[in-house]
Amino acid sequence: MHSVKFTNNKLFYLDQTKLPKKEVWRSCRTIKSGWKAIKDLKVRGAPLIGVFAAYCICIHLDKLSKTKSIFFKQLKQSFDYLKSSRPTAVNLFWALDRLAKVSLENEQKTVKQIKKDIVKEAKDIHRQDIETCSQLSNYGATLIKNNESILTHCNTGFLATSGQGTALGVIFQAKKQGKNPTVYVDETRPLLQGARLTAWELKKKKVNSFLITDSSAAYLMQNKMIDKIFLGADRITALGDTANKIGTYSLAVLAKYHKIPFYVVAPLSTFDLNLKKGKDIAIEQRDQKEVKEILGQTLICPRETKAVNFAFDITPSKFIKAIVTDRGIVYPPYKKNIEKLIK
Amino acid sequence: MHSVKFTNNKLFYLDQTKLPKKEVWRSCRTIKSGWKAIKDLKVRGAPLIGVFAAYCICIHLDKLSKTKSIFFKQLKQSFDYLKSSRPTAVNLFWALDRLAKVSLENEQKTVKQIKKDIVKEAKDIHRQDIETCSQLSNYGATLIKNNESILTHCNTGFLATSGQGTALGVIFQAKKQGKNPTVYVDETRPLLQGARLTAWELKKKKVNSFLITDSSAAYLMQNKMIDKIFLGADRITALGDTANKIGTYSLAVLAKYHKIPFYVVAPLSTFDLNLKKGKDIAIEQRDQKEVKEILGQTLICPRETKAVNFAFDITPSKFIKAIVTDRGIVYPPYKKNIEKLIK
């Protein structure tokens, strides 16, 4: 189960906007169509965007100059262009910066060789993401006991990564270990990643699960139907503040009040130590149509109504019980322990 | 602006499931079609359901026996039948109990006269609901200052009542008084009463307003975009615990954490002093299709996915800053002050 393929220098992706109705694979032939696939959320999920963007560079290399100085200028432009697709998740920037670093470290080589090094690095990023998912899933599963009920938000499984996922990877791992988790999935308005993608993944993996509206989560917590919360992250600062899908902060405050452990699951590539606090993270505001028209199909309010559409929110670290990474579980104090982890 | 009409013993209602696309008025000719209109939320809003159910009895009176003993038996059956349409909002029960009381108080009269008394009482309930809305709107508007931003949930305006509304009535009153409120409206999944009905009412009344997804409310609170929260109630117990549309409890906890005043607005008929605590209130669970299929049109998850659909939740009184009623504003301690209010 995967959602991006790169074979013989050809890039394919599963169009996630068509799920769960249809499994449509598309070919991505140009950097421009790659940019649009990210922008339109056909390819989504912080770790997956990183892998996909790296491959978008690979399929674009043929179009770049053979003259080294021009090549480097064009390469930089390509990185900047892809980075402009989505501002919040850091993995996109991280993956492209890895390619940039490799190209600069091998500056003395021929352009042809540098291109080969870039492709190799992209494949490494892909391979590592798969491993990373296994590692953090293993760490995270140690936090789940038999027959627990887990709440999750948005999508963090094999659609959002190249591997088995982050938060959902942890749940799949617990399931594999025979712990029999029950999962409540927030539908995750406006774009319904929980209903469309997570419910679909849980069904594929035969995990006992229930779909709920986002605003029901508090009622379930009040009625002791939730033991733990696991969700992903798009960017984590040096202090542990976390940007994630809109609705995450709401769950964090509610979990704190109901004394329910709230776990963030993310690979090391999600940490951005250049930023200290959550408020330093750029929050993407998307088209108000995503709120007004459900999946671009059903208008739910008067045409003239204005809507506000913040795609992400910030959860201060004090709400987070622990951050599960591929290098182990990080507990507070986050500043110190994140520093130790990354070094 | 109104949503139920009773003229020449004929009952009409605005089909709220068709809004905001179309304004469809329907004739309600039988008690059975009235029951279904309530069940299917064509007629909705706690106070309006009370008024409408009373009129459903009126249009049914012709079908009842002229023999007094049989008449009373049939009348009781009709009350019980209508009461089975929706369990949570108490106004339905309150209105029908008023008709029952009038019929029993006039037991010595002819059946024909008793029927007349029932119709008179139903019209009184209607008239009083209009007055009630004006009164509580006036009280509530004193709580709003110039240029404040108000968050509201579900629909509590002229569609949910016979008058100008409860929580939304307060906002309309503030607007009339030139206080220039800005309103953020939760879309209110699963049935989108906020998007479909409240956004439509706010547009009609030219109130500056923005639609948001339910899970964005916390982010707006965190970013100091919300000054106050006003919403309605379906039932309020002797201790002030309040049943209201699912999502209300979530907002209450979030408001407490962000120190944002959380006001409940409801007529006296919403108080149920037979119940002490919120957990005594029956919570309606509705068809999972309402979660899985948006407005019965768009399936948002795999067909096999199971969903949980609690239609209401309970907000403990400790989260409520004050309850605005048609007899004034009630502050804690609620047990004592609600008792004083109702006496």
Question: Is residue A33 a contact partner of residue A81, using CB atoms and an 8 Å limit?
Answer: no
What is the average pLDDT across B274-280?
Answer: 95
> E strand or H helix at B150, and its extent?
strand B149-152
Q: What is the pTM of this model?
A: 0.96
What is the average pLDDT across A73-91?
Answer: 96
Banded pLDDT at A297 (limits 50, 70, 90): confident
- CATH of A4-134 given 3.90.1580.10, 3.30.930.10, 1.10.10.60, 1.20.120.420: 1.20.120.420
> Are B294 and A299 within 8 A, CB to CB?
no
A–B interface: beta-carbon pairs under 8 A: 181
Looking at the predicted structure, is the pLDDT value of residue A2 above 90?
no
CB-nearest partner of B215 from A211, A250, A301: A250
Distance separating alpha carbons of residues B89 and B329, to the nearest angstrom: 21
Q: What are the angstrom distances between the C-alpha of B166 and each of A320, B137, B141, B196, B263?
A: 38, 7, 11, 17, 11
What is the average pLDDT across A130-144?
Answer: 98
Looking at the predicted structure, is the pLDDT value of residue A1 above 90?
no
Banded pLDDT at A334 (limits 50, 70, 90): very high
Return all residues near B111 (Cβ < 8 A) that are at least 6 apart: B64, B65, B66, B67, B68, B71
Active site residue A234: yes
According to DSSP, residue B270 is labeled G
What is the average pLDDT across A296-307?
Answer: 95
User: How much is the mean pLDDT over chain B?
Assistant: 97
Residue to test with chain B: of A16, A216, A246, A254, most B Cβ within 10 A: A216
Domain spanning A140-342: which CATH class is it, in words? alpha beta
In angstroms, the separation between the Cα of residue A164 and the nearest Cα of chain B is 20
Looking at the predicted structure, is the pLDDT value of residue A289 above 90?
yes
What is the average pLDDT across B139-146?
Answer: 98
SS3 B196: helix
**From A129, A186, A234, A272, active-site residue:** A234
Distance separating alpha carbons of residues B323 and B330, to the nearest angstrom: 5
Q: In what order do the strands lie in the sheet with B25-28?
A: B4-7, B10-14, B25-28
Burial class (CB in 10 A: 0-12, 13-18, 19+), B190: buried
**How do residues B9-35 score in pLDDT, each as one tens digit?**
999 999 999 999 999 999 999 999 999
**How do residues A152-198 score in pLDDT, each as one tens digit?**
999 999 999 999 999 999 999 999 999 999 999 999 999 999 999 99
> Are A213 and B306 within 8 A, CB to CB?
no
Question: Is residue B147 a contact partner of residue B179, using CB atoms and an 8 Å limit?
Answer: yes
Whether the CA torsion A252, A333, A157, A273 is positive or negative: it is positive
In angstroms, the separation between the Cα of residue B46 and the nearest Cα of chain A is 20
Banded pLDDT at A247 (limits 50, 70, 90): very high
In angstroms, the separation between the Cα of residue B271 and the nearest Cα of chain A is 22
**How do residues B68-116 score in pLDDT, each as one tens digit?**
999 999 999 999 999 999 999 899 999 999 999 999 999 999 999 999 9
**How do residues A250-276 score in pLDDT, each as one tens digit?**
999 999 999 999 999 999 999 999 999
Looking at the predicted structure, is the pLDDT value of residue B240 above 90?
yes
Banded pLDDT at B1 (limits 50, 70, 90): confident
According to DSSP, residue B257 is labeled H
> Are B222 and A298 within 8 A, CB to CB?
no
- The alpha helices in A64-193, defined as continuous H runs, are 68-83, 91-105, 111-141, 167-176, 193
Distance separating alpha carbons of residues A215 and A226, to the nearest angstrom: 14
Burial class (CB in 10 A: 0-12, 13-18, 19+), B69: exposed
Domain boundaries, chain B: 4-134, 140-342
Residue to test with chain A: of B182, B250, B281, most A Cβ within 10 A: B250
- Which region, left, alpha or beta, applies to residue B240 given φ > 0 means left and ψ of -120 to 50 means alpha? left
Residue to test with chain A: of B193, B219, B295, most A Cβ within 10 A: B219
What is the average pLDDT across B133-160?
Answer: 98
Listing DSSP states for B51-63 in one string gives: HHHHHHHHHHGGG
A186 forms beta bridges with A212
> Are A250 and B219 within 8 A, CB to CB?
yes
User: How much is the mean pLDDT over chain A?
Assistant: 97
> Are B214 and A210 within 8 A, CB to CB?
no
**How do residues B166-177 score in pLDDT, each as one tens digit?**
999 999 999 999
What is the average pLDDT across A270-286?
Answer: 95
Looking at the predicted structure, is the pLDDT value of residue B57 above 90?
yes
ipTM of the complex: 0.95
According to DSSP, residue A34 is labeled H
> Are A20 and B302 within 8 A, CB to CB?
yes
Q: What pLDDT is attached to residue B343?
A: 85
**How do residues A199-227 score in pLDDT, each as one tens digit?**
999 999 999 999 999 999 999 999 999 99
Cis peptide before A267 (omega within 30 of 0): no
According to DSSP, residue A109 is labeled S
Q: At what angle do helices A91-105 and A111-141 cross, to 10 degrees?
A: 140
CB-nearest partner of B297 from A187, A298, A302: A298
Q: What pLDDT is attached to residue B297?
A: 87
In angstroms, the separation between the Cα of residue B136 and the nearest Cα of chain A is 27
Q: A305 contacts in B (CB within 8 Å)?
A: 195, 199-200, 202-203, 209, 211
- The alpha helices in chain A, defined as continuous H runs, are 31-39, 46-60, 68-83, 91-105, 111-141, 167-176, 193, 199-204, 217-222, 248-257, 289-292, 334-342
> E strand or H helix at B289, and its extent?
helix B289-292
